[in-house]
Each structure stands twice: as structure tokens, then as C-alpha cells.
Amino acid sequence: MKLTIIGTGYVGLVTGTCFAEVGHQVICVDNDAAKVKMLQGGGIPIYEPGLQELVQKNVAAGRLSFTNNTAEGVEKSDVIFIAVPTPPQPDGSVDLSFIERVARDIASAMTSYKIVVDKSTVPVKTGERVSETIKRYCKSKVEFDVVSNPEFLREGFAVGDLMKPDRIVVGVRSARAIAAMKEIYTPFKAPIIITDINSAELIKHAANSFLALKISYINAIATVCEAAGANVQQVAEGIGLDERIGRRFLNAGIGFGGSCFPKDLSAFIKISEQVGYEFHLLKEVQRINADQMDRFVKKITDTLWVLRDKKIGVLGLAFKQNTDDVRTSPAIDLCQRLLKEGATLRVHDPKAMEKAKALLPNVTYVEDMNAVPMGCDALVIATEWEEFKALDLDRAKSALTHPIMFDGRNLFDPAEMEKRGWIYKSIGR
């Protein structure tokens, strides 16, 4: 089919590229001319494993193209996906101005029947607003359908998640739109869940809020484990093997971050308030997440006492492994707190250092993770990169002024670290 994706961020670029990979003809639209030029040249503005190769392959095959002309994308495609940002506002609600702007642009360019698909994460009832906007601004008064098709992509695993999804949710009103959406997704061989539009919009917020709840739950359990002398990893294994619970998202750490969980959690709380329900459970999830970082910083200050003029090495800046995304990153938050206390930092991340520089201008960036501990009073693990498990522990111990590690991601075994002579502080163990 002929498809247009408006927005080439994490969601839009991965979606458009994977649609092209299964044989659809895809135009990706973005209003950033520099980004479009980069994509046309085979580069990509984000790090996502496997994505650049797929972009280059499908551009070369003629199935994937890029433009900053929305009207061109609307004219040449049957289905237009909206994948623009929906940033949070100070009160926790979502800024829908990008969605409204794109809906107006689509309406202005429409001269024949189109299916307009909301791929962005939006509050319930947004589909109704998009439909109203298109009716208002479409001068040709042609027929159209609005569809909600939320994404469930994990940064760092997005290509695999889209090519082999566990389910595809489609919120839709008309049989014509159902048939088109099924045709688009047939190559992906996954269950297609057909719902009304409002339910589809709620599914995304409900899913992400539940996953955030699981993370905060295991972090609360980690606090109990520390007080009781138990091991949170063993507890997580014991409860995670129950098929009703599952092991995923039961890894204790310094809290969740990124562009989805914090934003979607706040948005769902606000959405619930607007329909008359006070979602106290989700507010507690937020509180536990904030407390988790407070407790970790306290571990550092309890051990090092005064942080002023202390030199601390930090491994990890991205909010999670396999991405260069530093938006709402717990690692960045941690670094900013340490700097505020007067510490100086030597930091490393396999992919995120360039993007971190705008948020952390006054730290020393180190290209080799094994060189980070040099002259430091302690070493901190802040992101769960697999590479960090290969850290040369003997070299790190020699380079530090004191063999102290604060492991915010539980990458190492406490007994082994103690045997090697480390003062080792982790989460819930």
C-alpha cells in the first residue's frame, strides 16, 4: 500500500522503515529540513540497533523516501500516520498542538478519501478531536476515516518489536478502514485487536502505566529486601516464574525514565481526573519512583559523607541500554544531583554522550569505560548496558582512590565483589 508517516522520531522512523521492509511504499515527512537531508543521505538522527541498515536498504530499493512537504505525502498516499511528539505539560496533561497542526495540514491537502491514523500516544477522545479538525479545515469536504493505532515499541528493541509484535491494536469505526489496516499489517503475522477508538487510545496509557507499576513494585520490594537482608533478584525470580506475573519489568534499579513511562503515567493520572477518577495507585507509583533515586543518592552520601570536591566516575547516561535517548534519564538526574552537591564527574556511555552534553556541560566525557575510574573516589553504574559487565574490575579497583562501587543496575554479584575487595553497594541486595 501507499503510506505516509508524518514525524520521523523514534516511532515514525521505525514504523515507516519497517512498513517499507515488508513491501509497502512509504513516504516519511518531517518539517526539519536538516533531518530530512540526513535521512535522504542514508544517515539517521537516532541510535536504534538495526535501523540504519534497514533505512539504507529500503531507500536504495525505492520503497522509502523522505520529504518535508506534507501535502506531497497526503496526495501520494492512501493512509497517513501521525507520529509527531506529544510532550508533557507542567500539570501532567499532554500538549496536543503538534497533533492539531498536522490534522489541519492533512485536511488542507486532502482531495480524496484518506485514512488518518493516530500513531502518537494521545489521551482518550483525541481521535474525536482529530476528526472534528479535519472536517473543519478540509475545503474539498471529501470522506475520510480516523483510526487509533497505538505503538508498543521499546527503545533499543524497536525494530524487533515492530517486525514481530505480540499484538496490533486498531481503534476504528468503519469496515473500509478495518480492511485497509488489516492489509497493512498482514505481513507482520500478529493478532489484530479491533476496538473502538476510545478503547484503543486508553490501551496504550493503561499498558505503560501497568509496566511502570511493575517497576515501582519491585523497587519497593528491593527496599524491603535491604531492610530484611534478602536478595531482590532472587525474590524477583521466585515471583516472576509465576505465569500470572511474569519476570519482565521486575528488575530493581534507580527508577524508570525515558520519554514514555513518566509522561504516560502523568497523562493517565490527568486523564482519569478529567473523567472523575482519582488514580491514587498511579500517584504512588510516581512517588516510589522518585523515592528510589533519593535512596540511591543517600547510599552514596552515607558512604562518601561529603560529596563536595569528590571525584566520581559514572557509567551510563542513556535512560536504558541500547539507545542514545537521554530524555528524563535517571542517569542524567543522578549526575545533576551529584554535581549540585559539589562533586566532579567523569562519565561514559556507549551511545549517549553527544546528546548528554547539552544537559551535562560541566563533566568530563571519557571514550573508554575502563578509563572512567582514573583518580575517582567511587564508581557508579547508572545504566544497564551489557558492555559494562565486561568492565576490567581489577584495573578499575587500582585506578580508584578507594575501591567503592555503587551499582544502580545490579550488574555484578555482591559476593564476588566482596571477594575481590570492593566496597560494593547495589539495590535490594
- Grid coordinates representing 4 are 505516509
* CA separation for the pair 385, 39 (Å, rounded): 27
Neighbours of 265 (CB within 10 A): 26
Catalytic site positions? 260
